[in-house]
Amino acid sequence: MADVNRVNFLIGGPAGAGVASVGLLFAKCLQRSGLEVFGTNDYPSLIKGGHNIYAVSASPEPIFSLVGKPDILIALDKKTVEVRSPELSEGGALIYDSNKVADAKEIAKRQDITYVGAPLSQMAAAAGGEIMFNTVALGAAMGILGTDFAIIENMMAKMWARKGQAVVDSNTAAARAGYDFSKSIVNGSFKAKIEFIKREKTLFINGNEASVAGAIAAGCKFVAEYPMSPSSAILHLMAGHERDYGIIVKQTEDEIAAANMITGAAFAGVRSMTATSGGGFSLMSEALGLMGMMEAPCVIFNSQRAGPSTALPTYTEQADLLFSLHASQGEFPRVVIAPGDMTECYVEAFNAFNIAELLQVPVIVLLDKYLSESSQTVEDFRKIPLKVERGKLMTDAQMEAATSFKRYEYTANGISNRCLPGQKNGMHVCSSYEHDETGFTSEEGQERIKQIDKRATKLSVIPEIFIAPTFYGASAALADITVVCWGSTKGPALEALRILEQKGVAARLMHIRYASPFPASSVIKALRASKNTIILEGNSTAQMRTLILQKTGYYIEKAYLRYDARPFTPEEIAAHVSKLAGRK
């Protein structure tokens, strides 16, 4: 009996072959069929060549990461057959170009899969050109699943409309050729099939896109950035929307300039941001200190990749946590947020701009390659009620009535009134030097102590309920084990909870989003209530464990660390956790 509306898909080929394009189109077709979808890519840092893949998992229920082996594999070259055919699930299907990989069966040596050797390039040529090779392959994958062709047809119309009806018709014909060919091969007997589900529209979006949406919703009006993978899409997306939302987007000569420019824009009252990865963030360290001294409300997105130095520039890691908390010389407060999924990317990007202005501090949002470039179906988060709050930003009327304005005035919570250049009675000094309440340079010891204490006090303004970790799975009283994670590890860990439940393991997941300020009381309460605890991190030194120990005095003995620059999988998490819980 066919498994309805559950399928895993993988396409592989060399860089430049359109691997990601086909993967995304396949995922979007399943989304339009009413399914929950998760998709992610894997590629080396080569302009051309190398082995690229795009993988998709789909389900009728919410899905948070890839789960299980691929049921359908599209091999765009011989290497993909060699490397990926062993991963196919039993009863799966291998789609390949029979003219280019004539010996696929001899290479794969699998008797338990269906071989769909189609003349893909020949079909594409007949439909209008070999450039549509991938469209034929997409159609072939959909034909195996028996997907309603109207969904593909609508997708082709939407995707190619800007290029004219002739291009739409050619691509639709190419998809139809692949669809009919593979459908005739399996003849309805494939292990999985797709049936349309009527449901509310969802978004299929990745972490970079969701972060951009949150920044725009928050009123970001200035972006200065030097492109650096995997954050570069943030620059491109912002540039694509600058006229729609009145945003100034500047590609700077380097990351140093980007950080300094957003500092100046923030001083002028403009909600400003930059995005980078670890190497670029390293260059921003001095400017980060300037933001701290000036109390300039800037937002920095750091999409982590494997380091140090260039290392593995297109692979993922969670190793910038402690660096983000301590970057730049001296001591000053900053907020560090690590969202775990696409909805959190949107919400926390929005929150980052509010917090930056409420506290007058730099805010660092930690993404990573896996989160930035993986896509997931989510409910339309634009419906979430969020309100722009600009803190103690003085109005013209308030400044006209002001006397003896002190930009860095000592207050109970450390947050001073802030004015904009040009407002009446607002003249003050704003520099990189330590200062008194007016901003004038001061080297007096007591003044120095007061200013450091003033700045440090500000983080306490954020209530713990706002920064508290989120919990999933079993209750504290019933859980056999508590799994602690942060950032993008959330998705695989959530899927692991389902596997663990099937194994009879009651697991509780604690996901930490805020590293600074740190929700110490919530975290220690959960840890003390746990019978057994393990922490998951994508680094080799358990950086979050170090932070938890520093902030709470509690040391989590058991850690499962992955630092091969690849994301966790639900299966490996479940296997490790169930072993700790005393299950096989």
pLDDT value of residue 401: 95
Q: How far apart are CA 331 and CA 326, in angstroms?
A: 8
In the chain, where the domains are located: 3-193, 205-383, 392-462, 465-580
Fold adopted by 465-580: Rossmann fold (3.40.50)
Chain center to CA of 291: 25
Q: How far apart are the first and last CA of the chain?
A: 29
How much is the pLDDT for 282? 98
Whole-number pLDDT of residue 17: 86
For position 533, what pLDDT does the model report? 97
CATH architecture classification, 3-193: 3-Layer(aba) Sandwich (3.40)
Please tell me the class of the 205-383 domain. Answer: alpha beta
**205-383 and 465-580 agree in CATH topology:** yes
134 vs 72, 75, 129, 137, CA distance in Å? 15, 11, 11, 5
pLDDT of residue 46: 86
What CA–CA distance (Å, rounded) separates 377 from 355?
Answer: 28
- pLDDT tens digit sequence for 275-285: 999 999 999 99
558-564: list long-range contacts, CB under 8 Å, 24+ apart: 558/532, 558/533, 558/534, 559/534, 559/535, 560/534, 560/535, 560/536, 561/536, 561/537, 562/536, 562/537, 562/538, 563/317, 563/319, 563/538, 563/539
The one-letter amino acid code at 357 reads E
Is the whole-model pTM more than 0.75? yes
Order of strands across the sheet with 533-537? 470-473, 507-512, 481-486, 533-537, 558-561
Pick from 126, 162, 164, 118: which is nearest to 142 by CA?
A: 118
pLDDT of residue 49: 81
**Which of 365, 210, 254, 345 is CA-nearest to residue 303?**
365
36 Cβ partners below 8 Å, 6+ apart? 58, 59, 60, 61, 62, 63, 202, 377
**pLDDT under 50 in the chain at which residues?**
none
Tell me the pLDDT of the chain averaged across its residues: 96
